[in-house]
Structure 1
């Protein structure tokens, strides 16, 4: 059962990503040009104890699964493999940045992420079955991150970022009949995040493109799901996200 037609459009998302990268490169060129010209934008920005902003993210996510021991028994002779399927999604969030030291910040970045995660069962016939997770459509995530910055060079600064992200489902399939063809996963999850980015200072705002990797910690597979994931022992959610962030 398809619950949200928007997901079909993510197959065309790579074109948008390419356009985004071109925009980032162009903006980076402008920042470097400003540096060569001797212009210093937002000179007092890094002295603020608290800064705010917002972010737009485009991500590719999938489940990482571990097979159950039952998968190698004769009961699964007709199953060739159980595979996670890569899916695109997007997120919208806010940023609260707290300065801890000259080169160290603490960030809270609450956001809403729109997911569709599925697994595909490939049989030896070969036929295929696809099951989507009941976590569709949205999850509230609260990344708690440390940002380690390099020294500022004119209007640019590199940084590393990492931390943990608790999340909870806020919408999705809850009707028992709808869940017949669904993977039932837990509402809560916890993941480790790490990545890198670039602060580009402009006269009126700071633009920060960032790549961040997320790796799930807890097993999201619900004990209530014994029909569609009998051959799976553990499910965790992984993603790679391109963030476009704007702040003061």
Structure 2
């Protein structure tokens, strides 16, 4: 009986000791999970980063009255095209929840226009652009949830198309596109905060506010189009320090 009691006493001590060790290990692991990375970053007045990613862009087309009367085109339809971009990012802290961002970058974009003639001939035309972009945005941030937060974006952007053919003298141009554009932007993103950097995927939608069409009455398609606005969907990856 004494041997049995001694065995039970030692077993109880082992069980209690193991339970204490497991509890302590769990508490330590939980504490490590809740370590706030880069806490000083939230109080920085400004910080910088790198952004890169992919985009899809298209035109919004408004036809002229001549389009109804003419007998050349049955359909004029915009098509989305792929692209990519890279840029630098500078952020200025306004308060705990709002940053002002400036992200100059270079964007390669492609837009398509499909035409169907009255005789049923389908033709796909591509218009390539190389934009120098100057976006200015307000970033509305949530509270940090440990090492994560989400945010929304609202802003405007100036674009200069370095591949614009508005002044081109070539006779085989499909359309002539003006180089300057202003766009409104809205979007959202996520921030994953690591010990040495912030990883941030982001999606934006932009709508051009200016008419990009440069009229040329020697181009049949140009006579059927009154107004062209740009549209773009952008997926970006940002690395911030």
Change (3 A) 1:110 1:37: same
Q: For 1:86-101, what aligned pairs fall within 5 Å after superposition?
A: 86-101=80-95
How much is the aligned-residue C-alpha RMSD, in angstroms?
Answer: 2.0
Q: In 2, Cα distance between the equivalents of 1:106 and 1:214?
A: 18
Shift of 1:152: 0.7
Partner residue of 2:149? 157
- TM-score, structure 2 length as denominator? 0.82
Equivalent in 187, 190, 197 of residue 195 of structure 1 = 187
Q: TM-score, normalised by structure 1?
A: 0.80
Q: What is residue 104 of structure 2 aligned with on the other side?
A: 110
Check conservation: 2:164, 2:178, Cα contact below 8 A.
no
Q: Deviations over 1:89-140 (max 9, x none)?
A: 000000000001110000000010001222111123211223333xx34110
The answer to whether 1:141 aligns with 2:162 is no
Contact 2:164/2:179, CA 8 A, preserved across alignment: no
1:58 aligns with 2:66: no
Stretch deviating more after TM superposition (148-157 or 164-173) = 164-173
Asked whether 1:38 is paired with 2:31, we answer no
1:242 lines up with 2:238 in the alignment: no
What's the offset of the Cα at 1:192? 0.3
Q: Secondary structure at the match of 1:116?
A: strand
CA distance in 2, matches of 1:162, 1:239: 15
SS in 2 for 1:158: strand
CA distance, structure 1, for counterparts of residue 175 and residue 239 of structure 2: 36
Structure 1 residue 172, shift from structure 2 partner: 5.4
SS in 2 for 1:171: coil
1:36 CA drift (Å): 7.8
Give the Cα–Cα distance (whole angstroms) in 1 for the partners of residues 142 and 63 of structure 2.
42
* Count of equivalent residues: 211
Secondary structure of residue in 2 paired with 1:71:
helix
Aligned to 1:23: none
Structure 1 contact 184–224 (Cα < 8 Å) conserved: yes
Q: Hey, what's the Cα distance between the residues in 1 that align with 2:89 and 2:178?
A: 27
Shift of 1:35: 8.9
State the shift of 1:181 in Å: 2.9
Structure showing greater radius of gyration is 2
Q: Does 1:176 align with 2:172?
A: no
